[in-house]
């Protein structure tokens, strides 16, 4: 019975893989598909995670915590061929998660009913997924560089929407790859020359004086925008 349930989880994960090559594997998974496997998912958690799971008062928050933590453990453990609850997840000085004692890099992002997970063996990785909500249309001024704002203002209405969401997701993924997160001013990152629907190696202005080389991908599909970034060097 357990093997049948585990097989069901594996099929969902396998069907959710959107990129798989020698540099990176990326999954975009609908969390609702895993709800029937709740009991097995609980067994994937580490002891401290199971304790925290029990202490949630709100059912929605409790389920979301379980799904995010357990599915992430399952995906990484399959990649490393280890039991899910054997993984030692730690956080570095920038609060970026890593697997203690293992030479892989991973990152996750969650939005609404979807979870995105990226794993790279050799490169720092950042991922971001967001449900498109056009009520956020006033945000560009606060996240765009001068060049991006000029490009946004000169775009047609339909182009504005796509450019805004791609730029936002890309910048989120960049700062998650570097580990700088919300400490980075998005205005200092300039991605005005990018419009990538496939992997592309680029030089990005990360601040006024710093450039980074990265492999980037960003795409809009089914009312979601998702992006991943791999740092070179």
CATH superfamily of 2-122: 4'-phosphopantetheinyl transferase domain (3.90.470.20)
d(CA 15, CA 27): 9
- Is the model's pLDDT at 156 over the cut of 60? yes
Domain 128-231 has CATH 3.90.470.20: yes
What are the start and end residues of each CATH 3.90.470.20 domain in the chain? 2-122, 128-231
Among 216, 213, 208, 164, residue whose Cα is nearest residue 189? 208
Q: What is the pLDDT of residues 43-101, one digit of tens each?
A: 999 999 999 999 999 999 999 999 999 999 999 999 999 999 899 999 988 888 999 99
- Is the model's pLDDT at 31 over the cut of 50? yes
Q: What is the pLDDT of residues 187-201, one digit of tens each?
A: 888 888 776 556 777
d(CA 155, CA 201): 25
98 φψ region: left (φ > 0), alpha (ψ -120 to 50), beta (else): beta
Place of tokens 């030692």: 88
Looking at residues 29-40, what average pLDDT do you find? 93
Strand partners, 203: 213
């Amino acid at each position: 019975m357990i093997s049948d349930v585990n097989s069901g989880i594996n099929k969902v994960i396998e069907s959710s893989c959107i990129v798989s090559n020698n540099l990176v594997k990326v999954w975009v998974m609908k969390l609702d598909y895993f709800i029937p496997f709740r009991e097995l998912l609980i067994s994937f958690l580490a002891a401290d995670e199971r304790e925290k799971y029990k202490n949630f008062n709100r059912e929605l928050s409790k389920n979301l915590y379980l799904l995010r933590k357990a599915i992430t453990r399952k995906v990484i453990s399959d990649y490393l061929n280890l039991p899910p609850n054997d993984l030692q997840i730690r956080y570095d000085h920038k609060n970026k998660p890593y697997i203690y004692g293992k030479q892989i890099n991973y990152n996750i992002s969650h939005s609404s009913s979807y979870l995105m997970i990226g794993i790279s063996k050799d490169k720092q990785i950042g991922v971001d997924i967001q449900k498109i909500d056009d009520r956020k249309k006033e945000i560009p001024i606060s996240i765009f560089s001068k060049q991006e704002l000029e490009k946004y203002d000169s775009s047609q209405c339909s182009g504005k929407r796509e450019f805004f969401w791609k730029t936002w997701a890309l910048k989120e993924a960049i700062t998650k790859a570097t580990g700088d997160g919300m400490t980075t001013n998005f205005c200092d990152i300039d991605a005005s020359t990018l419009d990538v629907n496939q992997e592309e190696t680029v030089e990005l202005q990360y601040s006024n004086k710093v450039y980074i080389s990265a492999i980037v991908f960003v795409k809009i599909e089914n009312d979601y925008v998702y992006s991943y970034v791999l740092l070179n060097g």
